[in-house]
């Protein structure tokens, strides 16, 4: 009997090895040779004349980008290639295309001499005062079904704003950031990414702490930036906007060196609209609002934003939609910045953590709150969290339109189940606001080199850690201890933490 069991075990093991080998070879077959995949066209410096391209191949082949005009005629763009490097089992290609014409539509393919991708397209900024773009956050899927749901949300955004010039993705593209998930993301988002320019922001799930992951994945401009390991800070002008992208994966959220970089960066532009994009949010009622990083951003980063006259701060991470009234110095102030936690385009959605209200977030700060979670669909009516609207249960996307002295923001939900009168999935405009200003008032007050060396970065780590520790023990911990009974109560009664 024992021998029979042993034999059965050996046969089972051999079968499993054979199956695994077969599956592996089938996967390898999918990603073999010089076929390019995970192709991204990203903002990289001046969007009137430049774009960054990145893609992967299974084999080590040379990089080749071909750019044509709309008619398919070759154009005189300059293309600089990085050395191909091995990364995560594949080969990674980066190319910078420059000397493009402003306000032009281009087609492109990537690959090598013999194997070319399908054609993608992008348009360069024409430099006028009008800019339209889409903002989404946290697809963070693991399964094909959920990536498809995220892609449906972004496709609804593109259909709602067909004039969008680029898509800001506020991070957490996938959940576990492994090759399998990125291949699923690629499958669902391939056509979307081939149709536009991407502005990617590093989320905490993007690479999950693996050094240099984000800068390898996308070809971004770090020529004048600040050192970080798990993400990238960069900025660019688009039309009359200056947009800075901050990495919130470093030192639990952000180092002092990054804040100095942001201050110099924002003071080096006279564009009328100053916008900051980052993954983690200073103001949130989601599950991550109870940790010190959100509090640290609220207490320290907001000072820099206030000093530089930032108009709008866009973030993700907490999978709910929350817009603040204008804030300055952590107080209501009509001259302050508006903070928008941009909901989630994906299917992982968070409830309100009511125990945070009053402790880590003054409810007077909230203008609009939309919860996308099944059986919740709450919104903030100024009195309680429990007003529900089933139209809120779906994927969230946001559109921004800047035209001279007016910035118009709209947030939408693509319903999971409700249909409109044409039988299409219902799209509900869940929030809308307009910011106005007198243009031509911003002045350049910083003209130096804003590069932070590795040595400066390392020298700043101890003060950064000290600042975080001070906020943690003097501000965050006493409040956390005070709300602990409420946290326990909500955990018992609502099973949320
Ligand atoms: Fe996140």
- 478 within domain boundaries: no
Q: What does the block give as tokens for 388?
A: 């529900």
pLDDT in tens, 232-289: 899 999 999 999 999 998 877 888 889 999 999 999 999 999 999 999 999 999 999 9
CA of 105 to the centre of ligand 1 (A): 34
- pLDDT score of 2 more than 60: no
63: domain range? 37-122
- Could you tell me the pLDDT band of residue 213, with boundaries at 50, 70 and 90? confident
- pLDDT score of 27 more than 50: no
Instruction: For residues 74 and 209, state if they share a domain.
Output: no
pLDDT in tens, 145-167: 999 999 999 999 999 999 999 99
Pairing of strands 321-324, 338-342: antiparallel
pLDDT at 19 (0 to 100) = 39
CA of 132 to the centre of ligand 1 (A): 25
CA of 230 to the centre of ligand 1 (A): 13
| Nearest partner of 307 among 336, 271, 272, judged by Cα | 336
Pairing of strands 366-370, 312-315: unpaired
The CA distance from 238 to 277, in Å, is 14
Instruction: For residues 110 and 137, state if they share a domain.
Output: no
pLDDT at 147 (0 to 100) = 97
Reduced to 3 states (helix: H, G, I; strand: E, B; else coil), residue 263 is helix
**Within 13 Å, how many C-alpha atoms sit on residue 467's CB side?**
21
**CATH code of the domain covering residue 105:** 2.60.40.380
Instruction: For residues 315 and 256, state if they share a domain.
Output: yes
Instruction: For residues 118 and 140, state if they share a domain.
Output: no
Q: How many domains does the chain have?
A: 2
Report for 58-67, 227-236, 251-260: range of highest mean pLDDT: 58-67
Q: Which helix (H) or strand (E) holds 267?
A: helix 256-267
Query: In this structure, what are the phi and psi dihedrals at residue 257, rounded to the nearest 5 degrees?
Result: -60, -40
CA of 139 to the centre of ligand 1 (A): 10
- 230 within domain boundaries: yes
Q: Tell me, rounded to whole angstroms, the distance of Cα 438 from its chain centroid.
A: 30
- 466 within domain boundaries: no
- Could you tell me the pLDDT band of residue 377, with boundaries at 50, 70 and 90? low
Residues with CB under 5 A from ligand 1 (ion): 172, 203-204, 317
- pLDDT score of 23 more than 70: no
pLDDT at 354 (0 to 100) = 85
- pLDDT score of 481 more than 60: yes
pLDDT at 379 (0 to 100) = 73
Instruction: For residues 308 and 225, state if they share a domain.
Output: yes
Instruction: For residues 68 and 159, state if they share a domain.
Output: no
Query: Are the beta carbons of 303 and 263 closer than 8 angstroms?
Result: no
Query: Are the beta carbons of 232 and 245 closer than 8 angstroms?
Result: yes
Instruction: For residues 140 and 98, state if they share a domain.
Output: no
Q: What is the DSSP letter of 250?
A: B
- pLDDT score of 380 more than 80: no
- pLDDT score of 96 more than 90: yes
- 336 within domain boundaries: yes
What crossing angle do the helices spanning 256-267 and 461-471 adopt, rounded to 10°? 100
Q: Look over the chain and give the mean of its residue pLDDT values, rounded to a whole number.
A: 90
CA of 172 to the centre of ligand 1 (A): 6
pLDDT at 237 (0 to 100) = 97
- pLDDT score of 22 more than 60: no
Query: Are the beta carbons of 201 and 432 closer than 8 angstroms?
Result: no
Query: Are the beta carbons of 394 and 408 closer than 8 angstroms?
Result: no
Comparing 18-32, 51-65, 420-434, which segment has the lowest mean pLDDT? 18-32
3-class DSSP string for 106-136: EEEEEECCCCECCCEEEECCCCCCEEEEEEE
CA of 4 to the centre of ligand 1 (A): 51
CA of 304 to the centre of ligand 1 (A): 23
- pLDDT score of 7 more than 70: no
CA of 253 to the centre of ligand 1 (A): 11
CA of 129 to the centre of ligand 1 (A): 33
- The mean pLDDT value for 192-205 works out to 96
pLDDT in tens, 288-335: 999 999 989 998 999 999 999 999 999 999 999 999 999 999 999 999
Among 122, 153, 172, identify where a domain stops. Answer: 122
CA of 398 to the centre of ligand 1 (A): 18
CA of 227 to the centre of ligand 1 (A): 21
pLDDT at 29 (0 to 100) = 45
pLDDT at 30 (0 to 100) = 59
Instruction: For residues 90 and 205, state if they share a domain.
Output: no
CA of 60 to the centre of ligand 1 (A): 33
- 95 within domain boundaries: yes
CA of 138 to the centre of ligand 1 (A): 7
pLDDT at 54 (0 to 100) = 98
Among 122, 150, 184, identify where a domain stops. Answer: 122
The CA distance from 266 to 304, in Å, is 9
Instruction: For residues 450 and 362, state if they share a domain.
Output: yes
CA of 99 to the centre of ligand 1 (A): 36
Strand locations in 161-213 (E): 167-169, 198-200
Q: 């006259």: which residue's tokens?
A: 309
CA of 171 to the centre of ligand 1 (A): 7
Query: In this structure, what are the phi and psi dihedrals at residue 247, rounded to the nearest 5 degrees?
Result: -85, 125
- pLDDT score of 456 more than 90: no
The CA distance from 149 to 347, in Å, is 7
Among 95, 122, 149, identify where a domain stops. Answer: 122
CA of 203 to the centre of ligand 1 (A): 5
CA of 25 to the centre of ligand 1 (A): 33
CA of 285 to the centre of ligand 1 (A): 14
CA of 288 to the centre of ligand 1 (A): 9
- The mean pLDDT value for 107-134 works out to 96
- Could you tell me the pLDDT band of residue 339, with boundaries at 50, 70 and 90? very high
pLDDT at 104 (0 to 100) = 97
CA of 322 to the centre of ligand 1 (A): 15
- Could you tell me the pLDDT band of residue 455, with boundaries at 50, 70 and 90? confident
CA of 277 to the centre of ligand 1 (A): 14
- 16 within domain boundaries: no
Residues in the chain: 497
- pLDDT score of 99 more than 60: yes
CA of 18 to the centre of ligand 1 (A): 38
The CA distance from 237 to 412, in Å, is 26
CA of 369 to the centre of ligand 1 (A): 19
The CA distance from 395 to 156, in Å, is 10
Instruction: For residues 304 and 436, state if they share a domain.
Output: yes
- pLDDT score of 9 more than 90: no
Give the neighbor-by-neighbor strand order of the sheet with 234-238: 234-238, 241-246, 273-278, 312-315, 338-342, 321-324, 366-370, 378-379, 387-388
- pLDDT score of 75 more than 90: yes
Q: What is the DSSP letter of 426?
A: E
How do the residues of the chain divide into helix, strand and coil, expressed in percent and rounded to 5? 30, 30, 40
């Amino acid at each position: 009997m024992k021998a029979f069991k042993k034999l059965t075990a050996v046969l089972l093991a051999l079968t499993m090895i054979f199956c695994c080998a077969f599956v592996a070879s089938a996967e390898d077959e999918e990603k073999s040779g010089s076929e390019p995949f995970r192709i991204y066209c990203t903002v990289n410096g001046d969007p009137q004349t430049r774009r960054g391209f990145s893609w992967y191949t299974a084999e080590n082949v040379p990089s080749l980008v071909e750019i044509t005009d709309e008619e398919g005629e070759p154009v005189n763009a300059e293309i600089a290639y990085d050395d191909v490097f091995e990364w995560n089992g594949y080969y990674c290609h980066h190319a910078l295309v420059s000397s493009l014409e402003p306000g032009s539509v281009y087609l492109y393919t990537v690959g090598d001499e013999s194997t070319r991708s399908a054609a993608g397209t992008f348009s360069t900024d024409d430099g006028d005062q009008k800019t339209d773009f889409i903002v989404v956050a946290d697809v963070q899927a693991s399964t094909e079904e959920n990536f498809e749901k995220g892609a449906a949300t972004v496709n609804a955004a593109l259909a709602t704003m067909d004039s969008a010039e680029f898509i800001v993705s506020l991070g957490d593209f996938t959940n576990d950031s492994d090759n399998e998930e990125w291949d699923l993301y690629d499958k669902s988002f391939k056509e979307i990414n081939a149709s536009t320019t991407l502005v990617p922001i590093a989320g905490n799930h993007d690479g999950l702490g693996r050094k240099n992951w984000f800068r390898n994945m996308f070809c971004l401009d770090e020529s004048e930036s600040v050192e970080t390991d798990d993400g990238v800070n960069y900025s660019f002008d688009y039309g009359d906007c200056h947009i800075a992208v901050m990495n919130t994966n470093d030192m639990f959220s952000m180092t002092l060196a990054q804040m100095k970089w942001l201050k110099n960066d924002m003071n080096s532009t006279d564009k009328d609209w100053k916008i900051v994009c980052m993954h983690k949010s200073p103001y949130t009622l989601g599950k991550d609002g109870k940790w010190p990083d959100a509090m640290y951003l609220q207490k320290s980063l907001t000072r820099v934003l206030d000093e530089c006259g930032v108009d709008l701060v866009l973030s993700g991470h907490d999978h709910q939609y929350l817009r603040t009234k204008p804030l300055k110095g952590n107080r209501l102030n009509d001259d302050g910045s508006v903070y928008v936690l941009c909901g989630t385009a994906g299917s992982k959605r968070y409830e309100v953590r009511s125990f945070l209200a009053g402790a880590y977030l003054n409810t007077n700060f909230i203008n609009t709150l939309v919860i996308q979670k099944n059986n919740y669909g709450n919104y903030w009516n100024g009195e309680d969290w429990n007003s529900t609207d089933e139209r809120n249960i779906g994927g969230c996307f946001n559109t921004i339109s800047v035209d001279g002295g007016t910035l118009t923001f709209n947030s939408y939900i693509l319903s999971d189940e409700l249909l409109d009168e044409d039988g299409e999935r219902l799209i509900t405009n869940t929030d809308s606001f307009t910011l106005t200003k007198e243009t031509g008032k911003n002045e350049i007050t910083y003209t130096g080199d804003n590069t932070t060396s590795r040595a400066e970065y390392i020298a700043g780590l101890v003060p950064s850690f000290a600042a975080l520790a001070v906020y943690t023990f003097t501000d965050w911990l006493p409040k956390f201890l005070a709300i602990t009974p409420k946290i326990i109560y909500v955990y018992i009664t609502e099973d949320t933490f």
